[in-house]
């Protein structure tokens, strides 16, 4: 083959090659597929417990409700705790409390209620609940609730002596002073006594010198003793429910004046 034809063929091939390379474009990188973002919902939950026995309380006392709250959810949360009580025709709600707990954490809070004069003695039910939040100042979305019973009772008066001496001298007066407390109020207090030489016991009303019907100081002063021996006495007090409390019988020695 003539050299000229060979050179011409090479030139044709080179031209074709350059044309091919000129029209080629780099492949564009395809956009990576976007992965959908996962939405993780962390649930909140809680439990609440009350003691098996709440107990009995005086009509002038304070009722204590120990509430154990545990965060059983997966994140820290501030819970709302409510306590409601009802019975004997009455219903009371305590102010709500907030408690913040980590997952698995438990805490006991004391909810207290000062017994009001309008309540009656008897059995009451208490319901303690734990909630997610407050809406319009009211608890919303209850997680758990615990219900128990407790009792309010009208206590008998309590009598305690103040400066009670073990002996006294003949021809001197004896002064008896006691403190008497009651959850509803004391109506009266009396002393029953027997001096040496007396054939029958004598009953005299005591006078409230200070304090109130619910907590007062009552006193009584005898006539002068006439002879030596034993001064025997006891004190009684009755409350507004006609419940009567009595002390045991006491004896004070009356001795010769020196």
Please indicate, yes or no, if residue 25 is contained in any of the structural domains.
no
Please indicate, yes or no, if residue 73 is contained in any of the structural domains.
yes
Please indicate, yes or no, if residue 31 is contained in any of the structural domains.
no
pLDDT at residue 29 in the model: 57
Please indicate, yes or no, if residue 22 is contained in any of the structural domains.
no
Alpha helices in the chain (DSSP H): 3-23
pLDDT at residue 117 in the model: 83
What is the C-alpha separation between 139 and 134, in angstroms, rounded?
Answer: 4
**pLDDT by 10s per residue, the chain, length 258:** 555 565 656 565 555 555 555 544 554 555 555 555 555 556 889 999 999 999 999 988 899 999 999 999 999 999 999 999 999 999 999 999 999 999 999 999 999 999 988 899 999 999 999 999 999 999 999 999 999 999 999 999 999 998 777 778 888 888 899 999 999 899 999 999 999 989 999 999 999 999 999 999 999 998 888 889 999 999 999 999 999 999 999 999 999 876
Domain final position from 153, 176, 211: 153
140 and 211 housed in the same domain = no
Q: Name the 3-class secondary structure at 105.
A: coil
Count of Cβ atoms closer than 10 Å to residue 2 Cβ: 7
Residue 68, judged by CB atoms within 10 A of its CB (0-12, 13-18, 19+), counts as middle
pLDDT at residue 169 in the model: 87
pLDDT at residue 167 in the model: 77
Please indicate, yes or no, if residue 39 is contained in any of the structural domains.
no
96 and 184 housed in the same domain = no
pLDDT at residue 153 in the model: 93
Domain final position from 153, 168, 197: 153
123 and 52 housed in the same domain = yes
Domain final position from 136, 153, 170: 153
pLDDT at residue 118 in the model: 85
pLDDT at residue 174 in the model: 87
pLDDT at residue 165 in the model: 74
Name residues whose C-beta falls within 8 Å of residue 151's C-beta, 6 or more positions apart in sequence. 55, 56, 57, 121, 122, 123, 124
pLDDT at residue 60 in the model: 87
pLDDT at residue 163 in the model: 78
CATH, residue 232: 2.60.40.650
What is the C-alpha separation between 157 and 170, in angstroms, rounded?
Answer: 33
Please give the structure tokens belonging to residue 96.
């709500």
Name the DSSP letter for residue 157.
P
User: What residues make up the domain containing 246?
Assistant: 158-255
- List, in sequence order, every residue forming a beta bridge with 78; answer none if it has no partner: 100
Whether the model clears a pTM of 0.75, i.e. scores above it, the answer is no
143 and 175 housed in the same domain = no
Please indicate, yes or no, if residue 11 is contained in any of the structural domains.
no
Q: Are 233 and 221 in contact (CB under 8 A)?
A: no
216 and 163 housed in the same domain = yes
Q: Ramachandran region of residue 229, left (φ > 0), alpha (ψ -120 to 50) or beta?
A: left
Name residues whose C-beta falls within 8 Å of residue 95's C-beta, 6 or more positions apart in sequence. none
């Amino acid at each position: 083959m003539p050299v000229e034809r060979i050179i011409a063929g090479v030139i044709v091939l080179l031209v074709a090659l350059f044309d091919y390379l000129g029209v080629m474009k780099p492949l564009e990188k395809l956009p990576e597929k976007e992965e959908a973002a996962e939405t993780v919902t962390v649930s909140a939950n809680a439990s609440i417990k009350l003691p098996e026995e709440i107990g009995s309380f005086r009509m002038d006392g304070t009722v204590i409700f120990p509430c154990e709250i545990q965060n059983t959810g997966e994140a820290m949360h501030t819970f709302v705790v409510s306590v409601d009580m009802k019975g004997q025709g009455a219903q009371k709600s305590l102010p709500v409390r907030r408690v913040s707990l980590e997952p698995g954490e438990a805490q006991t809070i004391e909810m207290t209620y000062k017994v009001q004069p309008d309540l009656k003695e008897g059995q009451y039910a208490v319901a303690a609940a734990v909630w997610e939040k407050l809406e319009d100042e009211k608890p919303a979305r209850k997680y758990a609730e615990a219900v128990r019973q407790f009792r309010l009772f009208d206590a008998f008066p309590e009598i305690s002596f103040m400066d009670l001496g073990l002996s006294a001298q003949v021809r001197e007066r004896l002064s008896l002073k006691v403190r008497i407390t009651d959850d509803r109020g004391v109506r009266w207090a009396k002393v029953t006594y027997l001096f040496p030489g007396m054939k029958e016991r004598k009953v005299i009303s005591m006078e409230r010198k200070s304090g109130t019907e619910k907590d007062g100081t009552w006193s009584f002063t005898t006539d002068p003793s006439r002879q030596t021996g034993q001064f025997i006495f006891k004190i009684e007090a009755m409350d507004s429910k006609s419940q009567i409390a009595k002390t045991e019988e006491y004896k004070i020695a009356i001795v010769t004046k020196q």
